[in-house]
Amino acid sequence: MHAYLFPGQGTQFPGMGKQLYDDSKLAQDYFNRANAILGFSITDVMFNGSAKDLKQTQFCQPAIFLHSYILSKTLGKAFKPSMVAGHSLGEISALAAINALDFESGLNLIAKRAIAMQKVCDDENAGMTVVVGLYDVIVKDICDQIDGIVVPANYNALHQVVISGEMKALKEASEKLKPGAVRVLNLPVNGAFHSPLMTPIIEEITLAVESTKFNTPICPIYQNIKGRPTTDIELIKSNLIDQLTHPVMWRHTILHMIEDGATEFTEIGPGNFLSGLVHQIDNKVKTFRVS
- Render pLDDT for 186-200 as a digit per residue (tens, 0 to 9): 987 778 999 999 999
- Indicate the CATH number for domain 125-186: 3.30.70.250
Residue 24 among the catalytic residues: no
Given the residues 2, 67, 87, 194, the one annotated as active site: 194
CA distances from 152 to 146, 163, 254 (A): 12, 4, 18
Pairwise CA distance, residues 26 & 5, whole Å? 22
Pairwise CA distance, residues 70 & 26, whole Å? 8
From-to residues of CATH 3.30.70.250 in the chain: 125-186
Answer CATH for 2-122+196-290 from 1.10.620.20, 3.20.20.80, 3.30.2040.10, 3.40.366.10: 3.40.366.10
Residue 246 among the catalytic residues: no
Q: Are 166 and 150 in contact (CB under 8 A)?
A: yes
From-to residues of CATH 3.40.366.10 in the chain: 2-122+196-290
Given the residues 68, 72, 88, 195, the one annotated as active site: 88
- Render pLDDT for 119-167 as a digit per residue (tens, 0 to 9): 888 777 899 999 999 999 999 999 999 999 999 999 999 899 999 999 9
pTM of the model: 0.93
Q: Are 153 and 191 in contact (CB under 8 A)?
A: no
Strands (E), 53-149: 83-86, 126-132
Q: Is the pLDDT of residue 291 over 80?
A: no
